[in-house]
């Protein structure tokens, strides 16, 4: 029996891709697919029309390559496919292998020809291969709700046969949209927000504010674990840890309790912006969702925006907590986020923060702060940590 030649067939959505953007999109997608599977053995990548083929002839772990591809932003779906010459006999042989030992009550063949000069039409292929399956298993054909769908894609040089394509994240490949600095707390929301930006093609720089030594270092450990997890979607990650406790202590000295939350947030935004600009960020991102907590009213959001020179993107603004939590579980950030810790915002925070601060109120609250010095202090105190996924293979002498 001939050996099955495995490959991963990656589909992306072209809808929404302007013509001029496509080469850039494909370049980033190809680079990220290669990087995502770089520790799993040889993968050679080929662009076909409307899809990308990962040739795994010499790869020992095709399923794992498929699983990695399913987590690459920009991938609409991916399937483990088998390559055969474009002859009916070869197609039948691989279809036979794919249904071997599989139980299914109904199936359909979905044949597609990428070039129309192939001697058989898609309908003829569907019929021939369908009859071949019917001779071998007690199943019926169901075109609308088949338990098993066998895809046959005929290209001039070869044909790909696959079942069970799985959905990827969709969106755009990381790197295609530029860099954003995401404010990453240890909470549930901001890691999801950071991921949403990745899904729109952004490379995310993580910025976390901590209150060591006023609070234990658990928030830093959580930020690190979250950055490591999120790096699985962008391959290289940078986390900036900013000491914020001293800055908060100064705020407490002059700012009345109800105004503190907004003042803290405005300081975070200014510091994150300065750090982000140094690294090419074109926007900031936060995990705010409208009305979720006192600081997330339209008025307070406006006050926070006024402190920033870069746009502040809030990808979760219209999401419910339940939706955000479900996404955090899917991403595997939820378990990290719910680890108990004291966020810096629990330090020196009033019982009843102002929910609707006006511009003049916030200016008055900040009047006695030396803002440039506090921002410079945060920027100077920041430390950088780097993450990578998968770990780069280091050359062995």
The torsion of the CA quartet 211, 215, 220, 221, rounded to 10 degrees, works out to 180
- Residue 306 CB, shortest distance to Mg ion, in Å, is 22
Residue span binding ligand ATP (CB under 6 A) among the ranges 20-28, 61-69, 102-110, 186-194: 186-194
* Cβ atoms < 10 Å from Cβ of 307: 19
- Residue 170 CB, shortest distance to ligand ATP, in Å, is 23
DSSP 309: S
Residue 160 binds which entry of Mg ion, ligand ATP, none, CB below 5-8 Å type-dependent: none
Query: Binding residue for ligand ATP (CB under 6 A) from 59, 185, 234, 300?
Result: 185
Cα 151 from Cα 159, distance rounded (Å): 10
x/- mask, Mg ion, residues 129-168, rule CB under 5 A, reads ----------------------------------------
Find how far residue 141's CA is from the centre of its chain: 37
Gap between the terminal Cα atoms of the chain: 40
Q: Does residue 364 interact with ligand ATP by CB under 6 A?
A: no
Q: Does residue 163 interact with ligand ATP by CB under 6 A?
A: no
Q: Which is nearer to ligand ATP, 53 or 345 (CB)?
A: 345
- Residue 186 CB, shortest distance to Mg ion, in Å, is 7
CA distances from 361 to 188, 303, 352 (A): 30, 10, 16
Residue span binding ligand ATP (CB under 6 A) among the ranges 197-205, 231-239, 288-296, 378-386: 288-296
x/- mask, ligand ATP, residues 260-279, rule CB under 6 A, reads --------x-----------
Q: Which is nearer to ligand ATP, 154 or 285 (CB)?
A: 285
Select the residue whose beta carbon is closest to ligand ATP and give its number: 187
Q: Does residue 319 interact with ligand ATP by CB under 6 A?
A: no
Q: Which residues, 6+ apart, have CB-to-CB distance to 193 below 8 Å?
A: 182, 285, 286, 287, 288, 314, 315, 316
Map tokens 């009843």 to a residue: 352
Tell me if the bond preceding 213 is cis, omega within 30° of 0.
yes
Residue span binding ligand ATP (CB under 6 A) among the ranges 61-69, 71-79, 139-147, 285-293: 285-293
User: Are the C-beta atoms of residues 263 and 366 closer than 8 Å to each other?
Assistant: yes
Q: Does residue 187 interact with Mg ion by CB under 5 A?
A: yes
Q: Which is nearer to ligand ATP, 149 or 189 (CB)?
A: 189
User: Are the C-beta atoms of residues 12 and 51 closer than 8 Å to each other?
Assistant: yes
Q: Which residues, 6+ apart, have CB-to-CB distance to 247 below 8 Å?
A: 267, 374, 377, 378
Q: Does residue 300 interact with ligand ATP by CB under 6 A?
A: no
Question: Which residues lie near Mg ion (CB under 5 A)?
Answer: 185, 187
Question: Which residues lie near ligand ATP (CB under 6 A)?
Answer: 183-185, 187-190, 207-209, 268, 286-288, 292-293, 295-296, 343-345
């Amino acid at each position: 029996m001939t050996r099955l030649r495995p490959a991963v067939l990656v589909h992306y959505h072209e809808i929404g891709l302007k013509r001029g953007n496509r080469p850039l999109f494909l370049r980033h997608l190809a680079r990220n697919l290669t990087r995502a599977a770089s520790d799993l053995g040889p993968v050679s990548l080929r662009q076909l029309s409307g899809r990308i083929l990962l040739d795994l002839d010499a790869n020992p772990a095709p399923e794992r390559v498929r699983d990695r591809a399913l987590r690459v932003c920009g991938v609409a779906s991916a399937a483990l496919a088998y390559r055969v010459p474009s002859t009916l006999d070869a197609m039948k042989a691989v279809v036979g292998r794919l249904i071997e030992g599989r139980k299914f009550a109904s199936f359909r063949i979905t044949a597609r020809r990428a070039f129309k000069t192939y001697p058989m039409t898609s309908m003829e292929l569907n019929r021939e291969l369908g009859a071949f399956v019917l001779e071998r298993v007690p199943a019926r054909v169901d075109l609308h709700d088949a338990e098993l769908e066998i895809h046959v894609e005929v290209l001039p040089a070869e044909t790909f046969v696959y079942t069970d394509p799985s959905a990827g994240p969709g969106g755009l490949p990381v790197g295609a949209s530029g860099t954003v600095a995401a404010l990453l707390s240890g909470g549930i929301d901001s890691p999801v927000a950071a991921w949403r930006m990745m899904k729109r093609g952004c490379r995310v720089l993580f910025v976390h504010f901590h209150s060591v030594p006023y609070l234990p270092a658990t928030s830093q450990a959580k930020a690190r674990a979250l950055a490591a997890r999120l790096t699985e979607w962008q391959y290289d990650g940078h986390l900036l840890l900013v000491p914020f406790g001293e800055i908060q202590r100064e705020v407490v000295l002059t700012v009345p309790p109800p105004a503190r939350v907004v003042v803290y947030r405005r300081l975070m935004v200014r510091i994150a912006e300065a750090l982000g600009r140094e690294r090419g960020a074109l926007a900031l991102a936060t995990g705010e969702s409208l009305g979720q907590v006192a600081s997330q009213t339209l008025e307070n959001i406006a006050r926070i925006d006024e402190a920033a020179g870069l746009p502040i993107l809030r990808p979760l603004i219209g999401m419910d907590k339940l939706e955000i939590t479900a996404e955090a579980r899917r991403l595997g950030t939820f378990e990290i986020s719910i680890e108990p810790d004291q966020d810096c915002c629990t330090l020196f925070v009033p019982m009843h923060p102002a929910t609707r601060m006006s511009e003049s109120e916030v200016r008055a609250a900040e009047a006695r702060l030396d803002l440039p010095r506090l921002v410079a202090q945060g920027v100077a105190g920041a430390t950088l940590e780097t993450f990578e996924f998968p770990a780069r293979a280091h050359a062995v002498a």
